[in-house]
Structure 1
Amino acid sequence: MPPPPANRALRLITRWERFWNTRDLDEFDALFLAGSGLTYFSSEKQAVLRGPDAVREHHRGFGFAPGGAATPNRLWLAVVTVDQVGRDAAVVTATWLFRRASTPERIQRGPLTAVLVQRPAGWRIAHMAFGNWPAA
């Protein structure tokens, strides 16, 4: 018996977290929705990114590459909640935290919202939105 949809959605977000830290663009298609329905609000840009090409290029700008790229920085999620919306969609809320190796005493943080949808190939991220909270 397969795990409940909420568990599969949580596994996708955990995989996305690993993707961010390994910077492996080869994982992109297994995480994000194909087609123009994908939208992404970065905490680093003041615009909505639409479609996988724009979102993939945004990640390239952070050093993501096929096969991955070493980074001394670390991103992780805390207070992760998955709210199921029917059988084929889920909303994930979390706090993202980011530590740069150059300033380990300073941790950036903010809210994350992700909308996940079930597709024949599995769960995919259809929308992500990141915000920044003031330094603590």
Structure 2
Amino acid sequence: MLRMFCLLFALGLFLPARLLMVPACAKENEVKSPALTVGERSTSKFAKEIAALVSRQEQAWNKGDLDAFLGEYLKSAQVTYVSNGSVKRGYDAIREHYLKRYGNSKSSMGALRLSDLEISDIGDKHVLCIGKFTVIHHAHVPIYGRFSLIFVKSKGAWKIMYDHSSQ
């Protein structure tokens, strides 16, 4: 039965198989993402830098490296994460949230896919990036949503200072 779903999925003939059976048809937590592209609505002069940073985050997640994923966040008490009605302030609180929800291994974190980036400058030192995400983790149930990130230039590097995700 599983082979039939995988065959139908591969041929694009069975929509529920395409939506629900992705993990069964691929190696565990394998993600074949094309390189992130910057959308036509992007106006930032820093768009390539921000897209590369977001791509590094996606790669770190898919390797199960939570610390590398979070390494793109500003290590400050002012960094803020908003999701599902809750607000986390400070790098340590955000890290604890991710650890609790996703763990710190490839098998528990699963697969992340980011897409449809739109990147705009907010002055000279801040950049806004919005996009879409899909996470498939241990429950094998895809989580879809949108995100918005505000980056700040800190010590010569772009860092996430505000992260909002909604499903």
TM over 0.5: yes
Match of 1:74 among 97, 108, 111: 111
Residues 6-55 of structure 1: CA distance to partner in whole angstroms, max 9, x if unpaired?
Answer: 22111111112223222323325631112111000134xx3100000101
What percent of counterpart residues are identical? Answer: 25
Q: TM-score by structure 1 length?
A: 0.77
> Structure 1 stretch 79-88 or stretch 109-118: which is displaced more?
79-88
CA distance in 2, matches of 1:6, 1:114: 13
Q: Which has the higher strand share?
A: 1
Aligned length: 121
Tell me the amino acid that sits aligned with residue 96 of structure 2.
E
CA distance in 1, matches of 2:115, 2:137: 17
Q: Which runs of 5+ in 2 are unaligned?
A: 1-44
CA distance in 2, matches of 1:102, 1:5: 36
Runs of at least 4 residues off by over 6 Å = none
Say if 1:28 and 1:97 are closer, same or farther in 2 by CA, change over 3 A: closer
Report matched runs for 1:1-136 at 5 Å: 4-27=45-68, 30-43=71-84, 46-61=85-100, 62-64=102-104, 69-71=105-107, 73-100=110-137, 103=140, 106-132=141-167
Residue 37 of structure 1 aligns to a residue whose secondary structure is coil
Contact 2:77 2:89 in 1 (8 A): yes
Q: TM-score by structure 2 length?
A: 0.64
Q: Which has the higher helix share?
A: 2
Bigger Rg, structure 1 or 2: 2
Q: Which runs of 5+ in 1 are unaligned?
A: none
Task: Specify which structure has the bigger relative contact order, considering alpha-carbon pairs within 8 angstroms and separated by 6 or more residues.
Answer: 1
